[in-house]
Structure 1
Amino acid sequence: MLTIRELTVRLGGRTILDQATATIPNGGKVGLIGRNGAGKSTLVKAIIGEIEPDGGAAEMPRRARLGYIAQEAPSGTRTPFEAVLEADVERTELLAESETCTDPHRLGDVHERLIAIDAYSAPARAARILVGLGFDEDMQSRQLDSFSGGWKMRVALAALLFSAPDVLLLDEPSNHLDLEATLWLESFLQSYPGTLVIISHERDLLNTVVDHILHLQQGKLTLYPGTYDSFERIRAERVAQAEAARANQEAQRKKLADYVARNSARASTAKQAQSRAKMLAKMQPIAAMSEDPSLSFDFPSPDELRPPLVTLDLAAVGYTPGEPVLKRLNLRIDPEDRIALLGRNGNGKTTLARLLARQLEPMEGDITFSGKIRIGYFTQYQVEELPSGSTPLELMTRAMADKPPLAVRNQLGRFGFSGERATAETHTLSGGERARLALALVTRDAPHLLILDEPTNHLDVDAREALVQALNAFEGAVILVSHDRHMVELAADRLVLVDQGSARPYDGSMEDYIDFVLGRNQPKAEDRPGVQEAKPQRKAGAIAREELKAARRKVSEAETRMSRLQKQLDELDNALVDPAKAKGELARLGIGEIGKRRTATAEELEEAEMAWLEASETLESVMGGAA
Structure 2
Amino acid sequence: MIRATGLTLRRGAKVLLENTDFVINPGERVGMVGKNGAGKSTLFSLLQGRLDADAGTVFIPAGWRIASVEQEISDNSAPAREFVMDGDTHLRALQAERASTPDSNGHRIAELESALVEADAWSAPSRAEQLLAGLGFAPGQWLSPVNSFSGGWQMRLALARALMAPSELLLLDEPTNHLDLDAMLWLERWLGSYEGTVLLISHDTEFLDAVARTILHFDHGKLMRYRGGYEDFLTQRAERMRLTHLAWDRQTRETARLQSFIDRFKAKATKAKQAQSRVKALARMEVLAPLQAESGIDIRIPTPTSMPDPLLVLDKVSTGYTDDQGNARVVLRDVQLMVRGGGRIGVLGVNGAGKSTLIKTLAEELPVLAGERRASKGLEIGYFAQHQLDMLDLESTPLQHLSRLAPQAREQELRNYLGGFGFSGDTVNNKVAPMSGGEKARLALSLIVWQKPNLLLLDEPSNHLDVDTREALATALAEFAGSVLLVSHDRHLLRTTVDSFWIVADGQVHEFDGDLEDYRDWLAARSASARAEARNDARNDAQGGSAGAQGLDRKAQRRQDAEERQRLAALRKPLDSRLKKAEADMEQASRRLKELDALIADPDFYSEARREERISLLGEHGELSKRHGQLEEQWLELQEELESLAGS
TM-score bracket for the superposition, by shorter chain length: 0.7 to 0.9
The amino acid that maps onto 1:193 is E
Deviations 1:92-111 (A, max 9, x none): 23233334431222222222
* Inter-partner Cα distance in structure 2 for 1:385 and 1:13: 32
Partner in structure 2 of residue 118 of structure 1: 120
User: Which residue in 2 is equivalent to 1:399?
Assistant: 405
Residue in structure 2 matched with residue 203 of structure 1 by the alignment: 205
Deviation at 1:215, TM superposition (A): 0.9
1:311 deviation in Å?
A: 0.8
Match of 1:491 in 2: 497
Q: Which residue of 1 aligns with 2:443?
A: 437
**Which residue is equivalent to 1:227?**
229
Paired positions, count: 508
Counterparts of 1:533 and 1:187 in 2: how far apart (Å)? 16
- Residues 74, 155 of structure 1: 8 Å contact kept: no
Residue deviations 1:470-500 (CA, integer Å, cap 9, x gap) = 1111111111111111211221111111111
- Gaps spanning 5+ residues in structure 1: where? 248-287, 523-530, 546-612
**Other-structure match for 2:602:** none
Q: Is the CA contact 1:497–1:504 (under 8 Å) kept in the aligned structure 2? A: yes
Q: Residues 175-227 of structure 1: CA distance to partner in whole angstroms, max 9, x if unpaired?
A: 11111111111111111111000011222222221111111111211222211
What is aligned with 1:596?
none
Deviations 1:436-488 (A, max 9, x none): 11110122211111111112222233322221111111111111111111211
Distance 1:234 1:540, change over 3 A: farther
**In structure 2, what is the Cα distance between the partners aligned to 1:232 and 1:384?**
33
**CA offsets per residue over residues 382-415 of structure 1, 9 Å max, x none?**
2356343321101111233465545533542342
Cα separation, partners in 2 of 1:245 and 1:383, compared to 1, 3 Å:
closer
Judge conservation of contact 2:295–2:468 (CA < 8 Å) in 1.
no
> Aligned letter for 1:84?
V
Q: Cα gap change, 1:133/1:173 in structure 2, threshold over 3 Å: closer, same or farther?
A: same
Give the secondary structure class of the aligned counterpart of 1:239.
Answer: helix
Aligned: 1:18 with 2:24: no
Secondary structure at 1:300 match in 2: coil
Q: Report what 1:278 is aligned to.
A: none
Contact 2:297 2:420 in 1 (8 A): no
Q: Is the 8 A contact 1:339 1:495 kept in 2?
A: yes
1:354 and 2:360 are equivalent in the alignment: yes
- Tell me by how many angstroms 1:116 deviates: 1.3
Partner in structure 1 of residue 61 of structure 2: 61
Opposite residue 299 of structure 2, the aligned amino acid is F
Greater relative CO (CA pairs within 8 A, separation 6+)? 1
Aligned partner of 1:300 in structure 2 is: 302
Verify the 8 A CA contact 2:341 2:482 in the aligned structure 1.
yes
Counterparts of 1:244 and 1:307, CA distance in 2: 44
Q: Report matched runs for 1:13-412 at 5 Å.
A: 13-73=13-73, 75-101=75-101, 102=103, 103-243=105-245, 291-320=293-322, 321-383=327-389, 386-401=392-407, 403=409, 405=411, 408-412=414-418
Do 1:316 and 1:324's aligned partners in 2 also have CA atoms closer than 8 Å? yes
Q: TM-score, normalised by structure 1?
A: 0.75
Deviation of the 1:507 alpha carbon = 1.8
- 1:31 Cα deviation from its structure 2 partner: 0.5
Structure 1's 544 and 180: CA in aligned 2 closer, same or farther, altered over 3 A? farther
Q: Deviations over 1:586-621 (max 9, x none)?
A: xxxxxxxxxxxxxxxxxxxxxxxxxxx99xx99xx9
- The whole-number CA distance in structure 1 between the counterparts of 2:362 and 2:118 is 55
Sequence identity, in percent? 39
Contact map agreement 1:242 1:289 (CA 8 A) in 2? no
TM-score by length of 2: 0.73
CA gap 1:293/1:189 in 2 versus in 1, 3 angstroms: closer
CA offset digits 1:91-133 (Å, max 9, x no partner): 2232333344312222222222222122211222111111111
Match of 1:426 among 424, 427, 432: 432
Corresponding position of 1:454: 460
Q: State the one-letter code of the partner of 1:61.
A: P
Gaps of 5+ in 2: 250-289, 541-562, 572-642
Aligned counterparts of 1:400 and 1:536: Cα–Cα separation in 2: 55
Structure number, greater radius of gyration: 1
1:593-608 superposed matches below 5 A: none
The Cα of 1:514 is off from its aligned counterpart by 1.7
CA distances 1:295-337 after superposition (whole Å, capped 9, x unpaired) = 1211111122321111111111111333211111111001211
- Larger CA deviation: 75-84 vs 291-300: 291-300
Measured against aligned partners, the alpha-carbon deviations of 1:483-538 in whole angstroms (never above 9, x if no partner) come to 11121122111111111111111122211112333x3xx5xxxxxxxx69764556
Aligned-partner Cα distance in 2 for 1:508–1:338 = 14
The question of whether the paired residues in 2 share the 8 Å contact of 1:74 and 1:153 is answered with no
Contact 1:337 1:477 (8 Å CA) reproduced: yes
Q: Give the match's secondary structure for 1:174.
A: coil
